[in-house]
Amino acid sequence: MSQGRVVQLYRLFLKPIFWLVLAAVLLAVSSLLDVPMFNDEGVWAYIGRIWADHGLLPYTGAIENKATGIYMLYALSHKLFGANIWFPRLVAIVSILLTGEIIRRLAKKLSGSARAGIIALAIFLLTMPLGVVDGASAETETFMNLFRVLTFLLVLVAFERPLKERLWWVLLSGVFFSWAIAFKQLAITDGLPLLFFFYFLNDKKIRPLISTLLTFAVGAVTGTIISLVPFLISGGNIRDYIDGAWIILTQSGSSPHSLLSRVSGFFRHFFLESLFLFSVGLLGYLALWKRMKLYLPLALPLLVWALTDFVAYNADGWYLGHHFKVFIPSWAVIFGIVAHYVLERLRIIGNENSGQKIETELPFVVLLSILIIFFIPFNREYYQNVRKFIKGNVHDYSLRDLGLYARELTAPGDYIYVWGFHIGPIYYYSDRLSPSRYFSEPFLGRPGALEEVQGDLKKNVPKLIIVPQEKFPLPEWLQRIIEKDYSLFEERSGHSIYALAAVSSP
């Protein structure tokens, strides 16, 4: 190896970004080390499998309330590698690293400080592996965030370009905006902060603003069409997509809480220990608001982005770990900017008190040291999976094993029906079809859904009905079906397996 190459590697090792990215990779991988498939992952994997293996499309072959992006990812994963979870999670880890880099660039462009970018990158990357946000799981929010932050970055880049090039960059930002929506419709709420960004970047002039918005809209429509191509080629149509991904969001069964309950739920989670730094960053931004307006040309659009994410998080209606990822990108940018601003003021005050100009990055190094040296070792969420793996304490794979057992008990072409909340991994690993496209209980509140699934159970009679033993009381209609035509075959993994006829053990 040449001396020049050695010097380059030495300089790389001295850069904080190198160690942050390395730590993020190791933590993200360890956060999913030997971790079983989550229910949501299983639901999307099931939909992707029946799309890949049977040509049954989302919305017509299986009802769930996401846009096409997540189903295409899992269908591709199954088509390439069969039953697995490692591929979607590998894509998730790569997405997190790319999102962190884009967040770094965003914070740098907004504040004009590389230091703000590195701090924002650090706080984002060190949060993603935490169990409180479901680690680096292959959830919709993980992929949505990548395209969201890319949209905002391209908007800023567009207005750094000459006028002739600008519209092409705006057009491209619209494409990525639509791809964020393709993974989770909640990304559409970014339309409000983007409007503020466009307004301020156009010097608050209406005519160029309208031109910019039209170009952005063309990009969004183009991106939406591109994202739907695999679905349309497979035989899907726009009407099914609109009904299954959008209209369903307004119907019973898709959202569990009122808006007031959602907001109160947010504040119950707002000051969780692992997310406290994000709260500090936003509160600091508000406390320094007058100074921020002078310091940041786009201070107001950035605040609108953060507050919109607050509303979007509560509009989701659930408080599962991965839902926290909705507001983390914008709040990470704010934390980086506020932390940089405070450190810079401390440096200036120190120079004034000492009577001489001292150029030092010591406060910055101390802050990163606190984040990396203290925050990681004393947060057991980072290494608990590694500890379990080393000690041989395996995670609970009961749902996967139950699905594989159902596969052994049945033949290709047989149906099984699984009731309860944690159904995804069972369906996916069983390699069997549900009798109905309404395979997931939360969506039985849709008009006509309950009648449809009852009719499907008579038409496509399941060989097995699998229900949890304790947590979920069975509805009367399902209880009647079981009592009439099924007998208890076995109790296994916290579930009761009812068989239509005598099923011999393998």
Average pLDDT, the chain: 86
Q: How confident is the model at residue 506 (pLDDT cuts 50, 70, 90)?
A: very low
CA–chain centroid gap for 53, Å, is 26
Average of per-residue pLDDT across 341-347: 79
pLDDT in tens, 126-146: 888 887 788 888 999 999 999
Comparing C-alpha atoms, which of 45, 49, 73, 71 is closest to residue 59?
71
What is residue 135's predicted lDDT score, i.e. its pLDDT? 82
pLDDT in tens, 443-452: 998 999 999 9
Pairing state of beta strands 464-468 and 416-418? parallel
Which of 27-41, 158-172, 236-250, 423-437 comes out lowest in average pLDDT? Answer: 27-41
Two structure tokens written together for 382:
């980072």
Q: How confident is the model at residue 262 (pLDDT cuts 50, 70, 90)?
A: low
Look at the alpha carbons of 329, 169, 95, 54 in this order and tell me if their dihedral is positive or negative: positive
What is residue 332's predicted lDDT score, i.e. its pLDDT? 94
What is residue 360's predicted lDDT score, i.e. its pLDDT? 52
Q: How confident is the model at residue 504 (pLDDT cuts 50, 70, 90)?
A: very low
Q: What percent of the chain has pLDDT over 90?
A: 61
Distances (CA, A) of 179 to 31, 151, 352, 488: 27, 10, 49, 46
Instruction: With a cut of 60, say whether residue 1 has pLDDT above it.
Output: no
State the amino acid at position 393 in one-letter form. Answer: N
Q: How confident is the model at residue 281 (pLDDT cuts 50, 70, 90)?
A: confident
Average of per-residue pLDDT across 178-193: 96
pLDDT in tens, 459-501: 999 999 999 987 668 999 999 999 999 999 999 999 999 998 6
Contact 296, 111 (CB under 8 A): yes
Instruction: With a cut of 90, say whether residue 156 has pLDDT above it.
Output: yes
Average of per-residue pLDDT across 177-202: 97
pLDDT in tens, 363-409: 655 666 666 555 665 666 666 777 676 666 667 789 999 999 999 99
Instruction: With a cut of 60, say whether residue 329 has pLDDT above it.
Output: yes
What is residue 299's predicted lDDT score, i.e. its pLDDT? 96
Two structure tokens written together for 144:
């949505």
CA 68/CA 96 separation, integer angstroms: 20
pLDDT in tens, 30-84: 777 778 999 999 999 999 999 999 999 999 999 999 999 999 999 999 999 999 9
pLDDT in tens, 290-318: 999 999 999 999 999 999 998 888 776 66
pLDDT in tens, 223-261: 999 999 999 999 999 999 999 999 998 875 544 455 555
